Amino acid sequence: MGTYGRFPLTLTRGKGCWVEDEQGHRYLDAVAGIATCTLGHSDRAMRHALSRQLRRLQHVSNLYEIPEQIELASWLVHHSCADSVFFCNSGAEANEAAIKLARKHGHTLRGIDRPVIMTAQASFHGRTLAAVSATGQPRYHQGFEPMVEGFENFIYNDLASFESLLSRLEMHGPKVAAVLIEPLQGEGGVNPGDPAVFRAIREHCDARNILLIFDEVQVGMGRCGTLWGYERLGVEPDAFTLAKGLGGGHAIGALLVKQHADHFVPGDHASTFGGNPFACRAGLTVARELQRRDLISNVQQRGDQLQQGLNALVERFPQLLQGTRGWGLLQGLVMQEGCGHAAIDVVKAAIAQRLLLVPAGPQVVRMVPPLVISKREINTLLSRLDATLKSLST
């Protein structure tokens, strides 16, 4: 179906941070399946692990114990603030599970008949109906109304806006079940969270027994220079969602919860494919390679290198560029308003320079390369981006 406005490019193979088209032209991939191919393309460790898994067992459903699932859940719990994990297949599904968890929390612990979940303007939580209803961008709602009820938006990083909405909603008694928020807004324009605002939100949630849920679908698994986005903010959530980088290019999502937020009982929620042996083997491989190769250190170093290079481009092309923002290897290049070009224009022009980029809203160009990217490849990225911007400024 015609649900994608695709670029005129057919990719047939990849290796590391590089992909090839049908003619054999090589492109530096700073999209990585939209922040998904953590270890790059056709990674050796991933190939070997998944080949072995295919010779053993692919799928049995959650009617039975799955050793690979238990192993991955144990790794995630051991390396995070969570105590248990629900596995699914995508970020949208993980957020759907979080929404159901929040509503059950509102019903059972706050005594709310029609619970409300507070989310931020410019957020993005997925394309399923409840997840898109939670998304604070009206353009994603158009044509799919009525939206699922029970979501109210505040301005991201604006404590006064949050407190005003919370006060209004709770004026006549408990109404809010949870706050669902991204530590860094990806699709909304690469907007990092303000630690002070997030700490205050945490305090408000604690005072009222409201769940604080982080959407870490894009920032989790090392992309932001720490294993989890909440570590950049110094605030622990009650629950958080994962997908994208967890599977290294394979379909897996997860909802991680602390013990006091673990409200699901058998029959409350399920997923046929969620946490199957193949997907969990992919997740385990990503997790172990992050540690073995010390990729978080690489993210920190290459992220600093990329950000410095982008700042230099802002100085070089002030008529086109306004600034940069981001964490680690999730960086955004902000276009000047009124410059005559949008982010999509940069993305299209970059293809001619054999560089793959992705927009994050109309005015931000996003770079989310594999976490294995090298110093030399960052320099290549910056050189090709320089050529792209030069082509647009003439």
* Torsion angle defined by CA atoms of residues 19, 90, 279 and 104, in that order, rounded to the nearest 10 degrees: 160
Tell me the C-alpha distance between 76 and 126, whole Å.
22
Length of the chain equals 394
Looking at residue 394, its pLDDT comes to 78
250-287 per-position pLDDT tens digit? 999 999 999 999 999 999 999 999 999 999 999 999 99
125-142 per-position pLDDT tens digit? 999 999 999 999 999 999
Q: Which domains are delineated in the chain?
A: 11-30+294-393 (3.90.1150.10), 44-292 (3.40.640.10)
State mean pLDDT over 228-242. Answer: 98
188-211 per-position pLDDT tens digit? 999 999 999 999 999 999 999 999
Residue-wise over 205-228: b if at least 16 C-beta within 10 A, else e?
A: beeeebbbbbbbbbbbbbbbbbbb
183: confidence class by pLDDT, cuts 50, 70, 90: very high
Strand residue runs (E) in 89-158: 116-120, 151-154
User: How distant, in Å, are the alpha carbons of 23, 47, 112, 239, 255 from that of 258?
Assistant: 50, 33, 21, 6, 10
Peptide bond before residue 146 is cis, with ω within 30 degrees of 0: yes
Tell me the C-alpha distance between 219 and 329, whole Å.
9
Residue 163 CB burial class (10 angstroms; 0-12, 13-18, ≥19) = middle
SS3 content of the chain, % helix, strand, coil (to 5): 40, 20, 40
Tell me the C-alpha distance between 58 and 276, whole Å.
7
Query: pLDDT exceeding 90 applies to what percent of the chain?
Result: 99
57-107 per-position pLDDT tens digit? 999 999 999 999 999 999 999 999 999 999 999 999 999 999 999 999 999
